[in-house]
Amino acid sequence: MNLNIENELNIAGHLTVSKRYQDGSEEVVFDDHNIITSGMGIGLSHLFSLVGSDKITDFQIDRFQVGVSGDDPNDEIADRYELVGPLTALDEYIEEYSNLYVVTGHIIKGSTASVAAEDNLYGIIPYNQITRLDSRTVRFTIVLDETVANDLQRDGEDSLLNEIGLFMKNIKKNDPPAPILVAYRQFSGIRKTDDFALVFRWSITF
């Protein structure tokens, strides 16, 4: 599905990333628009044409991934169906006392909406962190607390968090679920430590 989602469907988004310290103070480290991907169009076309899942909850945007190999935003990213370097180990996402809930699942890739039977990890966005700001705008708040994604390394080198994606739950009613990437953003690299939580406030306007 090769189209400009923002122009064709009038959908846009904005992402703010903040460091939140233990005293409650916050430091904004990124604030910019996001990329609405072709997966959003595929998901909505399945919903409106009654193709795929017959459960409305399968079309909810309720999960995310973060990664360490993000690309600079450009037009080609609209056709992206996965993160460049998503976290792949459960202990990178959560520790014993983390409040983050993580699930496994497959992933939908490509304009034909084919399901790739490969294991992926997805963080779940709690319902109480999905809020309607007005009649057209929904905000998703994702919190990586002080126990999550700390001191990441790749090939023995320190790695920076620098990409995030939002996923629609399971448009084809697969078992296990196969989410589809609907929004993506590369951001300035952050070395995550237990000194702070990362808070992503992601607004999507439909």
- 81-122 confidence digits (pLDDT tens): 999 999 999 989 987 778 899 999 999 998 888 898 889 999
Tell me, what's the pLDDT at 3?
46
Tell me, what's the pLDDT at 99?
85
Given a cut of 80, whether residue 159 has pLDDT beyond it is yes
Alpha-carbon distance values, 84 to 68, 79, 163, 191 (Å): 8, 13, 8, 17
User: Which residue stretches of 26-139 are H helix?
Assistant: 38-48, 90-93
Specify whether the CB–CB gap between 142 and 129 falls below 8 A: yes
Taking all residues of the chain, what is their mean pLDDT, rounded to a whole number?
Answer: 90
- 14-69 confidence digits (pLDDT tens): 999 999 999 999 999 999 998 899 999 999 999 999 888 999 999 999 999 999 98
CA nearest neighbour of 180 among 9, 62, 10: 62
The helix or strand, by DSSP H or E, that contains position 164, with its residue range, turns out to be strand 161-168
Specify whether the CB–CB gap between 177 and 114 falls below 8 A: no
Tell me, what's the pLDDT at 2?
39
Report the SS3 class of residue 16.
strand
Residue 184 tokens read as 């993506």
Q: Give the C-alpha separation, 126 to 8, whole Å.
A: 30
Specify whether the CB–CB gap between 162 and 190 falls below 8 A: yes
Out of 26-35, 70-79, 143-152, 189-198, least confident range: 70-79
Beta bridge pairs of residue 15: 32, 202
Tell me, what's the pLDDT at 146?
94
